[in-house]
Structure 1
């Protein structure tokens, strides 16, 4: 690694002279075109930048801005035959990648330039072991024997701090957690110590603590090997934590470029200012929910009451397939939600928050008591239970996966009304049209199909569908985590407007603590199936008492390069499993009131 990058203080941009001198990657006048039904159109237009050795360059922007297409063009992985580089040069050292054929690029990919994709589960081959996938890449680019390649693979896994590296070689991708799969992807990318590493949204799907671990890992490996990094993301907090320089893209064009400190302190482009203004910040941020009176938030007539909820799944194993282990997904959870209130349920993947939501919506069997509007579901017949379920609706994380692609969106929104036999056909159409107008869409769009909408528009359709039955409670399960920051802000504003208008209550499930802090009235923190802390938003965020809550909040990246952390909170080990042997139960946590209804596990 060059001395300038090694000695540069956190938050400081790389010196201009070091960037200009002998760049590792030099892109000039890059144009990328994609052919569709309406002919060919440019998705990247006249893009030029240089990447210095040891530098981290972040390319930021919303979906459709051309970030990922730029990365795919550099790697020569554009979709074929539709995509092509129509003009420009991509020089890696003295080699123009834009002129190489596939066989020549195969020798460069992995060896000199590597890429980490957003979703590791779709990037790793599910039928090959981790060891086979690692050694295959090493053997393709080196003259090492199989045993030597295996030793290199073990070293790569150890470098990304995966425990028991030798035994991990025999495991398959589905046997690892999301954070571990992403670390395996990083190990594969860095096993041959490439000159350039492209990381395309490497932390978007990860929990905030795992995200911090992965970013810290990239920093460490960059310091050790002097690798140049192109980090593609729409998370401006990650940009502030990692970038030396920033390129902001919109509609395929660069709208602004500069040092990270300059971009955040004095953005020149209006689009950059809008992007930064939409970023949720703990304690501040556009559209932040005002604190509500504690007495108002605890009115007796609750929309939902959950008492001593348990959800367990049995696992079979052994030669005869006997039940030998049990997943304690939710263990003794209790909470209530008042009318017009937002209760946020937060925690890392596997903590039980989504399972709790599914139990509340009647999608999984459970033990304990769930009462909706004062009616306990466990004591109701099928018809009565169906009627009560009208009061609880869900908005899921992926709007495209939750909408039937074969149906028109107007029919999808009307479907709950049809199932419950509400209104005539004409009345249903009028109600759906009114819902479309209310969520910011037009009635004319009712005849379109899901694929004809953007991600943010599809989520608005899902919100309209959830509102169709005029429910008392809407469960939003990671409903904005897959959206761009500005689209996310607009959807959150819409949810708050609808709450004020209809008095609906929300169970808001998320691992994004900054979003939670901006929208919630009360917060419940879950860990291994149990609530470890619960209180008003201000109690939990201003005075977190449980160590796990503190770690979640500390791991949130701050969108300010001048406050960049030297080290992220590091995970010393994988999150413990909630799976136990039959007959073995986890220790029950008792919640103690530390003042003003602020409950903390002891």
Structure 2
């Protein structure tokens, strides 16, 4: 009879309390779990469920003095972490237990080179010399498949893409071969292909080193692809725990069933018949973009001469009809957000942008201001786009004030009506942004975007940072508002499952150009360009029975859109392959 191996990590009856103005409250209550060697345990749930606080408690990194472990024990092997002082805990962090945070740019020191940050942690936990630590740092970068690893040591975080920075974080976490790796939302902000690469990388390194992984995420597709066991948390408590296959096939808790039902799935939007098909012919397009170019000059050398040029957007053309959602998809750096900023008049461009029959580059300042009233934006991070010193009612009324629309009393009445329409109460108009949840803050941003009754709303990654159930509610709200006001959406996202469920038409961008464009069904049911197929194939499927043995691997980073002065970019020509389905061919 074989003996069961001892768990590498054990949590027993953990309670974490946070002290606030109204006294202490528990954010983690009576949590118990075990993690075996080489196992992947996923902790899933909405924001505020206690996932990240659990991870910080394990690492003994709770924000002091506001948060503390009020009860329970955490054992790493035979070592009780809750009994260690700061000095002994610092020796364990990184060496035996490591953590990858959600946003690598805020986790990496912007003033230190990648090499300095890597070697610093290696030298702190080993007796290696500086040269030996440098060699191990190079090997760690190679292990996470970063090309030209030696030269990367001299670079700074801002010189790397988001996917590269996350790989550096993984290299730092695994350089000392820890027993346990905690990954807190490691792929939430990444494009779908880079996400697949990072998840595949975690699998490879886990198999090589036998590392146990705690993966914290709200992406149930990632859970299905990666987890051996799953814990579902809500309001600080574990509501369900079990094997991944059981959780997805036979969820017992009502909350788990709600969470799984809210997950967008590729295919659930295909073939959908909209009532708008029976509508009369549509009026003129809300927005028409023709041969749009956006380029940025890069200066270098002693005299600051222009040496290179970023071709961020190259010859993009598309149109959007009233009551229509055009989704713009692609990886980071492909030009999606730059196109949106040009459409909103926020960056200089060449080409034509016509909104409501008027050219955005009109002759007069007042005319340009009038055109821009018709185009509003909803940004990815609602907290960063709301002034924390202003009440949310004033933030929603601000566009009306800027454009001199209505009296003070009428503005207040319109704002109250907008709050009601987006599912908030007029009483909340007097609150500040920090007093709302993430989903509520995004509703405030939607209300602000609607204040001027625009013809076009640009939603730039507007739901990517939201939990899956909150995301579903916000998307439903956007659909309702579209039916009510007839507003058109330019929906920018890297989440192909969300795009497939909300869009009427889809445009796929790569290196500043559109490589495929057509109806939702044309693009998702019959993708013709290799890049489009790669994007769709990289989407994790929220079904453990369809778990892939390997993710599609990227051999290298996306090629740069930067060119030397005088060097012409590659031109792509779109050809109609049938019924308006446009696919790029090199020209």
When normalised by structure 2's length, the TM-score is 0.98
Look up the SS of the partner of 2:415 in the other structure: helix
CA distance 1:42–1:293, change in 2 (3 Å): closer
1:516 aligned partner: 499
Look up the SS of the partner of 1:350 in the other structure: coil
Cα deviation, 1:121-146, whole Å, max 9, x if unaligned, reads 11111111111111111111111111
How far 1:147 moved relative to its partner? 0.8
CA distance 1:298–1:53, change in 2 (3 Å): farther
1:437 aligned partner: 420
| C-alpha separation in 1, matches of 2:188 and 2:44 | 13
How far 1:374 moved relative to its partner? 1.5
| C-alpha separation in 2, matches of 1:535 and 1:328 | 24
1:542 aligned partner: 525
- Which of the numbers 330, 335, 345 marks the counterpart of 1:362? 345
1:39 aligns with 2:26: no
| C-alpha separation in 1, matches of 2:252 and 2:455 | 45
Look up the SS of the partner of 1:559 in the other structure: coil
| C-alpha separation in 2, matches of 1:498 and 1:290 | 19
> Mapping of 1:44-123 within 5 angstroms?
44-123=28-107
- Which of the numbers 505, 509, 519 marks the counterpart of 1:526? 509
295-304 vs 408-417, which moves further: 295-304
How far 1:588 moved relative to its partner? 1.2
| C-alpha separation in 1, matches of 2:153 and 2:450 | 48
CA distance 1:295–1:210, change in 2 (3 Å): farther
| C-alpha separation in 1, matches of 2:280 and 2:518 | 11
CA distance 1:103–1:290, change in 2 (3 Å): farther
* Contact 1:294-1:536 at 8 Å conserved across structures: no
| C-alpha separation in 2, matches of 1:140 and 1:122 | 21
* Contact 2:283-2:322 at 8 Å conserved across structures: no
> Mapping of 1:223-372 within 5 angstroms?
223-284=207-268, 290-291=273-274, 299=282, 301-372=284-355
How far 1:388 moved relative to its partner? 1.5
- Which of the numbers 116, 132, 136 marks the counterpart of 1:148? 132
How far 1:284 moved relative to its partner? 1.5
Cα deviation, 1:173-229, whole Å, max 9, x if unaligned, reads 111111111111101111111100000000001000000000000000001111000
1:4 aligned partner: none
1:381 aligns with 2:393: no
Cα deviation, 1:100-137, whole Å, max 9, x if unaligned, reads 01001011011110000001111111111111111111
| C-alpha separation in 1, matches of 2:551 and 2:386 | 38
* Contact 2:327-2:506 at 8 Å conserved across structures: yes
Give the aligned CA root-mean-square deviation in angstroms.
1.6
| C-alpha separation in 2, matches of 1:289 and 1:506 | 18
How far 1:36 moved relative to its partner? 1.3
How far 1:21 moved relative to its partner? 3.1
2:579 aligned partner: 596
1:488 aligns with 2:475: no
CA distance 1:123–1:298, change in 2 (3 Å): farther
1:207 aligned partner: 191
Look up the SS of the partner of 2:65 in the other structure: coil
| C-alpha separation in 2, matches of 1:303 and 1:295 | 20
Cα deviation, 1:277-328, whole Å, max 9, x if unaligned, reads 000001127x996457779798461000000000011111011111111110
Ranges in structure 1 where 5+ consecutive residues have no aligned partner: 1-16
CA distance 1:319–1:392, change in 2 (3 Å): same
When normalised by structure 1's length, the TM-score is 0.95
| C-alpha separation in 2, matches of 1:294 and 1:571 | 40
* Contact 2:37-2:210 at 8 Å conserved across structures: yes
CA distance 1:549–1:445, change in 2 (3 Å): same
Cα deviation, 1:477-516, whole Å, max 9, x if unaligned, reads 0000010000000000000000000000000000000000
| C-alpha separation in 2, matches of 1:516 and 1:443 | 32
Ranges in structure 2 where 5+ consecutive residues have no aligned partner: none
CA distance 1:510–1:19, change in 2 (3 Å): farther
> Mapping of 1:443-482 within 5 angstroms?
443-482=426-465
| C-alpha separation in 1, matches of 2:357 and 2:204 | 54
> Mapping of 1:400-439 within 5 angstroms?
400-439=383-422
2:490 aligned partner: 507
CA distance 1:335–1:294, change in 2 (3 Å): farther
| C-alpha separation in 2, matches of 1:488 and 1:155 | 40
2:115 aligned partner: 131
CA distance 1:370–1:298, change in 2 (3 Å): farther
How far 1:27 moved relative to its partner? 0.7
CA distance 1:302–1:330, change in 2 (3 Å): same
| C-alpha separation in 2, matches of 1:154 and 1:19 | 39
CA distance 1:23–1:278, change in 2 (3 Å): same
| C-alpha separation in 2, matches of 1:270 and 1:306 | 47
| C-alpha separation in 2, matches of 1:270 and 1:117 | 30
Cα deviation, 1:455-490, whole Å, max 9, x if unaligned, reads 000000000000011111100000000100000000
- Which of the numbers 198, 212, 221 marks the counterpart of 2:205? 221
| C-alpha separation in 1, matches of 2:3 and 2:101 | 26
Aligned length: 585
